[in-house]
Amino acid sequence: QKEVEQDPGPLSVPEGAIVSLNCTYSNSAFQYFMWYRQYSRKGPELLMYTYSSGNKEDGRFTAQVDKSSKYISLFIRDSQPSDSATYLCAINTNAGKSTFGDGTTLTVKP
Amino acid sequence: GAGVSQSPRYKVAKRGRDVALRCDSISGHVTLYWYRQTLGQGSEVLTYSQSDAQRDKSGRPSGRFSAERPERSVSTLKIQRTEQGDSAVYLCASSGQRWDDYGYTFGSGTRLTVV
């Protein structure tokens, strides 16, 4: 079993929809939770970062962490075609080593 | 430059040959990953090194993959005896050491095709 499991997708939604991207993890030592966005032919770029249970909001994006369930989510409100990309969750231990999910490819149709 | 750069951008290799891929990471960053993305198998970490220039932790799939770090901000991923299954995008990523700097900065990747 992988340490980080990500809903595989792909996801296709109409413009304006709310998108939910999800990962589960198994290692209780994980403390830092990140979401990366990767456009085609580009490397991933850090989108959001959090280290506590609860919600963190940044514009149309909300990262949610539930440590008791070992479950993290990224919500995108009012999705736009420019949000079409692959989204990767990544989780760190205190030592800084990241474990990545396999990614979910999102397409937002105009 | 301010980012992570990788070279070459594209590489075609004959099966069985060795290849070397270069990564120039961000000055001051101490942790460096080599990471492989394939359509069918998702993403996996190949090697991971932290602080020590010469130490790397080779991961899956086998000992054919190794990384050298002759300078802290330069790393070379070496793939021995390439196989067709090695065709993938190889990403380099680096990060600093501060607790709030654990996000990684990625390069744009090298697309390797083994023929």
pLDDT at B96: 76
The least confident of A39-43, A74-78, B80-84, B89-93 is A39-43
Residue bearing the bigger pLDDT, B73 or B109: B109
- Candidates A97, A99, A104: best to mutate against B (most CBs of B within 10 A) is A97
pLDDT at residue A99 in the model: 81
For residue B81, the one-letter residue type is R
Q: State the Cα angle at B38 between A31 and A26, rounded to 5°.
A: 25
- Mean pLDDT confidence for A77-101: 86
Q: What is the pLDDT of residue B40?
A: 61
- CB contacts of B102 in chain A (<8 Å) are 32, 34, 49, 92, 96, 98
Q: What's the rounded Cα separation, in Å, for the pair B62 and B49? A: 17
- Candidates A48, A52, A102: best to mutate against B (most CBs of B within 10 A) is A102
Q: Of A34, A97, A102, which has the smallest distance from its Cβ to B103's Cβ?
A: A34
Considering chain B, what is the average pLDDT of its residues? Answer: 82
Establish if A59 touches chain B: CB-CB under 8 angstroms. Answer: no
Phi, psi at A6, each rounded to 5°: -120, 135
Instruction: Considering only the beta carbons, identify the residue of A45, A94, A103 that sits closest to B43.
Output: A103
Residue B53 pLDDT grade (very low, low, confident, very high; cuts 50, 70, 90): very low
Per-residue model confidence (pLDDT) at position A20: 96
Average confidence score pLDDT of chain A: 90
Written as six digits, the tokens of A26 are: 């198994």
The structure tokens listed for B102 are 């654990």
Instruction: Give the chain B residue whose CA is nearest to the CA of A7.
Output: B42
Average pLDDT over residues A54-72: 93
> How would you classify the pairing of strands B110-114 and B10-13?
parallel
B94 pLDDT higher than 70: yes
Give yes or no for B42 touching A (CB within 8 A). yes
* B17: pLDDT strictly greater than 70: yes
As a whole number of angstroms, the longest Cα–Cα distance in chain B is 42
Q: Look at residue A107 in the predicted model and tell me its pLDDT.
A: 96
Cβ atoms within 10 Å of B50's Cβ, excluding its own: 16
pLDDT surpassing 70 at residue B54 = no
